Amino acid sequence: MQVRILPSSPDAGHLQHLISFVIDGRVAIDAGCLGLCGTPLSQSAITSVLLTHSHMDHVASLPIFAMNVLDCTDRGVTVYAPTAVIETLTQDVFNWRIWPDFANLLLDGHPIVTFEPIEPRRETRIGDLTVTAIPINHPVPAVSYLIDDGQSAVVFALDTGPTEEIWNVAARHPRLKAAFIDVAFPDDMRALAEATGHLTPSLARGQLARLPEPVMRIAAHLKAAYYDRIVDELERADIQNLSIGQTGFDYEF
């Protein structure tokens, strides 16, 4: 499995104001910056998008991405998400006021964006990937994703406060290779992190300790204003097998 963390913008460097991952060049997780990276033609290789939740830094460029794919291929895209996330997008984004209603605009009899509800804890097949959504701790309905290609499995636990189920499920998976985890605030902002459903380095250490020793731990989506402080605290936290996520880098599992 190949995983790339997309850069937020051409000049953002290592900072992640927005969040998107791409798996094997064709399945995206979240669309914060998906529609801003690369050319429309390169974006059109992506056929499916998995959304963790509805906050703007995770969905901001979804309309742009869908339009780019349509312009290049004359086909739509499929968006998988929990029902509550789909309801938010159809009511608050694809509503003709913010963006045209791509769910009801038809192309050759098919919608430009097809929303597919994903049921938590039930395996969903997307191409050769098996996807399992697990609810996590965030102020709005949100899920993490455990993704398995038959050889390797990777966890994407983004925007979550302290939680248990995803780590219990992941720790039992025989092919688990890596976990991408959100570490948004430094430790002296723990109260705000917990109130807003995020982690600090010390909180992340406790969460990641539940995973088997060989599993890679990759910290991602560090808030840009606190990036250096968070990195320093993560390095001093002595979390086993931890690295800081690199935008534009292809991780191979």
Q: Is the pLDDT of residue 181 over 90?
A: yes
Question: Would you state the structure tokens that stand for residue 38, as one six-digit string?
Answer: 């690369």
pTM of the model: 0.95
Question: CA–CA separation, 200 vs 192, rounded Å?
Answer: 10
Query: At 159, phi and psi to the nearest 5?
Result: 50, 65
Q: Is the pLDDT of residue 189 over 80?
A: yes
Mean pLDDT over 91-120 rounds to: 93
Domain 2-252 sits in CATH at 3.60.15.10
Q: What is the pLDDT of residues 201-215, one digit of tens each?
A: 999 999 999 999 899
Question: CA–CA separation, 241 vs 218, rounded Å?
Answer: 8
pLDDT at residue 13, rounded to an integer? 80
Residue identified by tokens 């780590």 is 167
Q: What is the pLDDT of residues 225-243, one digit of tens each?
A: 999 999 999 999 989 999 9
Question: CA–CA separation, 20 vs 38, rounded Å?
Answer: 13
Instruction: Check if the beta carbon of residue 83 is closer than 8 Å to that of residue 47.
Output: no
Mean pLDDT over 17-32 rounds to: 97
pLDDT at residue 10, rounded to an integer? 72
Q: Is the pLDDT of residue 15 over 90?
A: no
pLDDT at residue 99, rounded to an integer? 96
**173: number of Cβ within 10 Å:** 17
Q: What is the pLDDT of residues 28-38, one digit of tens each?
A: 999 999 999 99
Concatenate the DSSP letters of all residues of 181-249 into one string: EE--S-GGGHHHHHHTT---HHHHHHHHTTS-TTSEEEEE---GGGHHHHHHHHHHTT-TTEEE--BT-
Q: Which long-range contacts (CB under 8 A, 24 or more apart) does 98-102 make?
A: 98/63, 99/63, 102/63, 102/66, 102/76
pLDDT band for position 110 (cuts 50, 70, 90):
confident
Instruction: Check if the beta carbon of residue 169 is closer than 8 Å to that of residue 134.
Output: yes
Of the candidates 200, 101, 197, which has an alpha carbon nearest to the alpha carbon of residue 141?
197
Q: Is the pLDDT of residue 150 over 90?
A: yes
Q: What is the DSSP letter of 88?
A: H
Mean pLDDT over 11-37 rounds to: 93
Q: Is the pLDDT of residue 12 over 80?
A: no
pLDDT at residue 44, rounded to an integer? 94
Question: Would you state the structure tokens that stand for residue 6, as one six-digit string?
Answer: 């997309």
Write down the mean pLDDT value for the chain.
95
pLDDT band for position 11 (cuts 50, 70, 90):
confident
Question: CA–CA separation, 79 vs 49, rounded Å?
Answer: 5
Mean pLDDT over 22-26 rounds to: 97
**Domain residue ranges of the chain, discontinuous segments joined by +:** 2-252
pLDDT at residue 8, rounded to an integer? 87
